[in-house]
Amino acid sequence: MTILILGGSGSGKSKFAENCLIEKNKSGVCYYLATMMSGDDNESANRIKRHREMRKGKGFVTVEQPYDIEKCLDRTERDGSILLEDLSNLLANEMFANKKNDNGNDCIRRILKGIKTIAVQSENLVIVSNNIFEDGIEYDEETQRYIRSLGVLNAEIASFSDEVWEVVCGIPVPVRLQNSQTAGEVKLQV
């Protein structure tokens, strides 16, 4: 089963995603697929620490893979459940750190291919992503490309996910649940 979980900053999406994966997992290992690159600043170190604390005791095995995401499969069991945290980091890493000299669309295709591969080769895949689309600010070209790319990725992943949730103030709000189609679901052009 593939589940997409969206939310803004400090919305409580990670906590919901962790519990969601544990609930769906039957007998395999729960993997935490961490995409954040530990920078040398305090803030990202603190963020990583906070997330580790939150996962403590939930039985997650952490696998770090900041880009080329499907490579995590070398280190995971096939009947395992994987929590990908998170898509916005992964996209930033692919666009700005994984220097393959390609354009935004190649990044999107690479990420989608990776995610589809993981989805097929694991029991459950829960993907955490961000809602970054509602601050009304027009950014520079590069940032706009990033925002657009995440929008495309969210919509593409949503289209093959069994469940899509948005977490608001810690409350999970269903966007689309299994076997139900929402009105006007669109495919964005890659």
Partner 1 sequence: MILIIGGAFQGKKEYAALTYKVREEECFDAVLPSENKDSGDYYIIDHLHAWIRETLKKGENPEEKIESFLQKRNCILICDEIGNGIVPTDSFEREYRERTGRILIRIAEEADEVVRVFCGIGQKIK
Residue 131 · residue 87 · CB < 8 Å:
no
Residue 1 CB, shortest distance to partner 1, in Å, is 24
Q: Give me the phi and psi of 141, to 5 degrees please.
A: -55, -45
Residue closer to partner 1 by CB (options 80, 104) is: 104
Sign of CA dihedral 107, 108, 113, 118: positive
Sign of CA dihedral 96, 98, 101, 103: negative
Residue 170 CB, shortest distance to partner 1, in Å, is 4
Residue closer to partner 1 by CB (options 35, 124) is: 35
Q: Name the residue with tokens 């899509």.
A: 164
Q: Name the residue with tokens 């409580």.
A: 12
Q: Which two tokens stand for residue 170?
A: 């810690």
Distance CA 114, CA 168 (A): 28
Residue 110 CB, shortest distance to partner 1, in Å, is 22
Residue 80 CB, shortest distance to partner 1, in Å, is 29
Residue closer to partner 1 by CB (options 7, 80) is: 7
Residue closer to partner 1 by CB (options 43, 53) is: 43
Catalog residues that contact partner 1 under the rule CB under 8 A. Answer: 7-12, 43, 131-137, 139, 143, 146-147, 168-171, 173
Residue closer to partner 1 by CB (options 8, 28) is: 8
Residue 152 · residue 146 · CB < 8 Å:
no
Distance CA 6, CA 168 (A): 9
Residue 13 CB, shortest distance to partner 1, in Å, is 10
